[in-house]
A and B are shown apart, each in its own frame.
Chain A
Amino acid sequence: MSLTMFASTGKPTASRASFGKALLEIADQFPQMVVVDADLSKSTKTIDFQKQHPHRHIQLGIQEGNMVTMAAGMASMGQIPFIASFGCFLIGRFEQIRMSIGYSNANVKLVGTHVGIGIGPDGYSQMALEDISCLRTLANITIIQPGDHRETVQAVRWAAEHNGPVYLRLTRQNLPQFHSDDYQFQIGKADVIKSGKDVAILATGGTIEPAMAAVALLAERGIDAELVNFHSIRPLDEDYLVSASARFGHLVTVEDHSIFGGLGGAVAEVLCEKAPAKLLRLGMQTYGESGEPEDLYQKYGFTGEAIAAKTATLLGK
């Protein structure tokens, strides 16, 4: 697998770990910030914050529904709650999110970790695969899936600064680092990792790595693909999509999430209304299952080979 066209800029890091570090970095700057956990602080990586700022950490035990609405109460008092659990368990409390966070525009930061089939052997019950789709129906919740360590740290800071509800979608597995030191995260802006001429591949979170591999394989076949990190699912960079539609006429989305309403769905909505193009949505179309992450990525088509082959077919090559 030739990844040399994408230089590594640091040690592969899980975005949940980057989140844990970012909390420590911004703790002093945002004294109103509190962190709330539901018996998963070791997994969501809030545990170091808990140790350093015990009075600003709230342990609720296994009660995600209570956590969501309690956080809204805290936000109404001027606190900035970051509430963390597996993405699936947060989204499972959709009614609480809908009423307490969405409708009330509460300044609560929902942090969902362990997203996608990339979590591996625990299986479907622990995999967030529908979280983006659900949250996209609540128009005021910002949805961010950062792509690597530097981006995650900046996205956490952005979330703390932003007054309004935010969902951060974070991985269990390590993500390669591809942003350099001077990278500036910009909310709502497509992040072009590599520009190209023939097709745009839009990836997010855990699928950026296989998409990089796909771009390298396509290059060997004479196809010059543009690779884009779509860290902002809402706001979505519509200008980029309109321009990509004009430039390439062909786009591919790849997400470790359901394509029904996920990044693929979001992109399809914009293209249909504003700039029709040929779109291929790659992602999950069924429930997940247990398995080693690599085996699952193989089975469900999140490999450079599979993405490259399907992209070439889309282009008729």
Chain B
Amino acid sequence: MTNSRLEKKELVEKIRQYRIDIIEMLHRAGSGHPGGSLSAIDLIASLYHYEMQHRPNEPLWPGRDRFVLSKGHGVPAQYAVMAGMGYFPKEELKQLRQINARLQGHPSDQFLPGIEASTGSLGMGLSFAMGCALSAKLQGESQRVYCLMGDGEIQEGQVWEAALSAPKFKLDNLVAIIDYNKGQIDGPTNEVMNLEPLMDKWRAFNWHCIAIDGHNLDQIEQAFQEARLTQSKPTLILAHTVKGKGVSFMEGVIDWHGAAPNADETAKALQELKG
């Protein structure tokens, strides 16, 4: 790791702060997506703090591992972590979604160094990540590539084109992660468009598959390690998560997919998170 390794309990503390940042950011912006930001924060924070090689003070360092947030609406979680690690001043979180801000409502590589791919149109990130992973192989380089997708998102056909292709090129430097929070916009994912049996699908496409609790930091870390040890296959991590995790009244509630908390709700959420 480029960064000195945190103790696990320090990471837990950081993530608690990131959840607070997410709520404050979305409240100030008055719009955005709390549900899918809170379900993904443990995964994203683990990637940045434990797993990936990267340099916050040199975001375009060519040797960096690549992280593609394919479910772009979850970007408040990524911004919180990036600010926490020093990619930009934490003050800047206040500008989320405002005019002329670098912190666009969905990730933009045109606005903020450290964002690898512009996303927000769902279903495209795994193809981009696959392109990065394939290039690293062609160049004989050792960068690893991580792509985080939503469970609703993987209803897009392009995801399955990438899923079919990555094993052909033996991209063992590619890790796809599904934030399996069981909800999308129009309802529970498996009512809107059933995905199950989901592990079987990826297995049938020749991915190395690991199912974990996406809020358990030990399991997350072990899964990343297992992916590193896996040869000649890409890895799929199916992370079972809870939409809105950490804020009791948001947990599992579809309506918190894309609604910002008002002042009262923010106070309540912060009270819970600050404990």
Instruction: Report A's interface with B, CB cutoff 8 A.
Output: 37, 39-43, 59-66, 88-89, 92, 120-126, 287, 289-292, 295-296, 299
From B29, B97, B110, B152, contact of A39 by CB (8 A)? B152
B197 vs chain A, min Cβ distance (A): 17
Asked if B31 lies at the interface with its beta carbon under 8 angstroms from chain A, I say yes
The verdict on A123 contacting B31 (CB below 8 Å), with A61-B152, A62-B152, A63-B193 known, is no
A178 vs chain B, min Cβ distance (A): 28
Are the C-beta atoms of A123 and B185 separated by less than 8 Å? Answer: no
A116 vs chain B, min Cβ distance (A): 15
Interface string of B83-108 (1 = CB under 8 A from A): 00000000000000111110111101
Nearest chain-A residue to B185 (Cβ)?
Answer: A39
Asked if B118 lies at the interface with its beta carbon under 8 angstroms from chain A, I say yes
Asked if B131 lies at the interface with its beta carbon under 8 angstroms from chain A, I say no
Nearest chain-A residue to B195 (Cβ)?
Answer: A61
Are the C-beta atoms of B108 and A124 separated by less than 8 Å? Answer: yes
Are the C-beta atoms of B121 and A92 separated by less than 8 Å? Answer: yes
Cα-based distance from A101 to B101 in the complex (angstroms): 39
Cα-based distance from A299 to B101 in the complex (angstroms): 13
From B29, B111, B119, B153, contact of A62 by CB (8 A)? B153
Are the C-beta atoms of B184 and A39 separated by less than 8 Å? Answer: yes
B153: A residues at CB distance < 8 A: 62
B122: A residues at CB distance < 8 A: 62
Cα-based distance from A43 to B118 in the complex (angstroms): 23
B98: A residues at CB distance < 8 A: 121, 290-292, 295
The verdict on A61 contacting B106 (CB below 8 Å), with A126-B120, A292-B98 known, is no
Interface centre among A66, A88, A290 (most CB of B within 10 A): A290
B110: A residues at CB distance < 8 A: 287
Are the C-beta atoms of B120 and A123 separated by less than 8 Å? Answer: yes
Summarize B's interface: helix, strand, loop or mixed.
loop
Are the C-beta atoms of B155 and A63 separated by less than 8 Å? Answer: yes
The verdict on A290 contacting B101 (CB below 8 Å), with A42-B185, A62-B155, A125-B106 known, is yes
Nearest chain-B residue to A65 (Cβ)?
Answer: B157
B119: A residues at CB distance < 8 A: 125
Interface centre among B119, B157, B189 (most CB of A within 10 A): B157
Are the C-beta atoms of B156 and A63 separated by less than 8 Å? Answer: yes
Are the C-beta atoms of B186 and A88 separated by less than 8 Å? Answer: no
Interface centre among B99, B110, B192 (most CB of A within 10 A): B99
Are the C-beta atoms of B99 and A296 separated by less than 8 Å? Answer: yes
Interface centre among B105, B120, B186 (most CB of A within 10 A): B186
Are the C-beta atoms of B186 and A66 separated by less than 8 Å? Answer: no
The verdict on A121 contacting B184 (CB below 8 Å), with A63-B193, A291-B98 known, is no
Asked if B114 lies at the interface with its beta carbon under 8 angstroms from chain A, I say no
Are the C-beta atoms of B97 and A290 separated by less than 8 Å? Answer: yes
Nearest chain-B residue to A292 (Cβ)?
Answer: B99
Are the C-beta atoms of B121 and A290 separated by less than 8 Å? Answer: no
B154 vs chain A, min Cβ distance (A): 8
Nearest chain-A residue to B97 (Cβ)?
Answer: A121
The verdict on A59 contacting B193 (CB below 8 Å), with A121-B29, A123-B120 known, is yes
Asked if B32 lies at the interface with its beta carbon under 8 angstroms from chain A, I say yes
Cα-based distance from A285 to B111 in the complex (angstroms): 18
B244: A residues at CB distance < 8 A: none
A125: B residues at CB distance < 8 A: 72, 105-106, 108, 118-121
B61 vs chain A, min Cβ distance (A): 26
Cα-based distance from A126 to B155 in the complex (angstroms): 18
From A39, A42, A66, contact of B192 by CB (8 A)? A39
Are the C-beta atoms of A290 and B105 separated by less than 8 Å? Answer: yes
Across the A-B interface, give the 8 residue pairs with the lowest CB-CB distance, nearest first: A125-B120, A61-B193, A291-B99, A121-B97, A61-B155, A123-B105, A295-B99, A290-B105
B101: A residues at CB distance < 8 A: 290-291
Asked if B56 lies at the interface with its beta carbon under 8 angstroms from chain A, I say no
A287: B residues at CB distance < 8 A: 110
From A41, A89, A123, contact of B186 by CB (8 A)? A41
Nearest chain-A residue to B106 (Cβ)?
Answer: A125
Cα-based distance from A88 to B121 in the complex (angstroms): 9
Cα-based distance from A295 to B95 in the complex (angstroms): 14
Nearest chain-B residue to A294 (Cβ)?
Answer: B99
Asked if B123 lies at the interface with its beta carbon under 8 angstroms from chain A, I say yes
The verdict on A289 contacting B104 (CB below 8 Å), with A59-B192, A62-B156 known, is yes
B72: A residues at CB distance < 8 A: 125
Nearest chain-B residue to A88 (Cβ)?
Answer: B121
A39: B residues at CB distance < 8 A: 152, 155, 184-186, 192
B155: A residues at CB distance < 8 A: 39, 60-63
B97: A residues at CB distance < 8 A: 121-123, 290-291
Could you write out 24 A-B pairs with CB less than 8 Å apart?
Answer: A39-B155, A39-B186, A40-B185, A59-B193, A61-B155, A61-B189, A61-B192, A61-B193, A62-B122, A63-B157, A88-B121, A121-B30, A121-B105, A122-B97, A123-B97, A123-B105, A124-B104, A124-B120, A125-B118, A126-B120, A289-B108, A289-B111, A291-B97, A299-B99
B29: A residues at CB distance < 8 A: 121
The verdict on A42 contacting B99 (CB below 8 Å), with A122-B106, A123-B108 known, is no
A96 vs chain B, min Cβ distance (A): 10
Cα-based distance from A59 to B187 in the complex (angstroms): 10
